[in-house]
Structures are given as structure tokens and as C-alpha cells.
Amino acid sequence: NAGVTQTPKFRVLKTGQSMTLLCAQDMNHEYMYWYRQDPGMGLRLIHYSVGEGTTAKGEVPDGYNVSRLKKQNFLLGLESAAPSQTSVYFCASSHRMVIQYFGAGTRLSVL
């Protein structure tokens, strides 16, 4: 039981490049989330999903897209990376909406 697994752990992009972050959970959770963490700003919700095939916008969705084609996977895409998207990204999952298990995080730098 690996819990919530994120790949990659680190990535450096140039402005304008695209990339996809993968989150996988093996706990059969319905709910999955993508957060970004910036110094002094806590964790801010980017997008979330309440089930396979469904996604919704969170607090800071601009510049990101997501997909939940399989229940266990939640992908976060950056189509054209910007320096403002330099951050640490955390994926999380939960069963009953209230307790979230976090992945180890992806540290992204956009130059």
C-alpha cells in the first residue's frame, strides 16, 4: 500500500514549456485534489475531483488543467509554464471528504 504517489519529484522548466504531473493513489478514494504551496500562503487548491471522469476548479485554477480518466489517477497539466507557477505541488486524496492523504510533493521551477 503506497498511499499517494506523485511523479516527478523535481522538475525545471523553461517559460512556455508544458508538462504533466501525475498523482496515483491505491486507497480507492473517490476524492482527489491538487494544491500548490508557496511561502507564507499555505496550501491553495488548484483543481479537485469528486470521482472518475469529474473535475472542478479550486481557488487558483488559471494556467492549469486536470484530468481524472481513472479513479486512481489525477493528472495536473501546465500547457505553457510561467515563472509564477514555480511552487511545490501536492496531490491529496480522501474517502469521506474530511481526511486527506498527501503525496510527497513535486518541486517545480520555471525559469
Partner 1 sequence: GENVEQHPSTLSVQEGDSAVIKCTYSDSASNYFPWYKQELGKRPQLIIDIRSNVGEKKDQRIAVTLNKTAKHFSLHITETQPEDSAVYFCAAIRAGGTSYGKLTFGQGTILTVHP
Which residue has cell 489525477?
A: 74
Pull the grid cell for residue 87.
Answer: 511552487
User: Among 19, 22, 45, 60, which residue interacts with partner 1 (rule: CB under 8 A)?
Assistant: 45
User: Among 31, 34, 64, 74, which residue interacts with partner 1 (rule: CB under 8 A)?
Assistant: 31
Q: Is 97 in the site for partner 1 (CB under 8 A)?
A: yes
User: Among 48, 64, 74, 89, which residue interacts with partner 1 (rule: CB under 8 A)?
Assistant: 48
The number of residues in the chain equals 111
CA 106 to each of CA 20, 52, 98: distance values in angstroms, whole numbers, following the listed order = 11, 23, 23
Cα–Cα distance for residue pair 22/96, rounded to 1 Å: 22
Q: Which is nearer to partner 1, 82 or 97 (CB)?
A: 97
Residues lying near partner 1 in the complex (CB under 8 A) are found at 31, 40-45, 48, 50, 56, 58, 90, 94, 96-100, 102-105
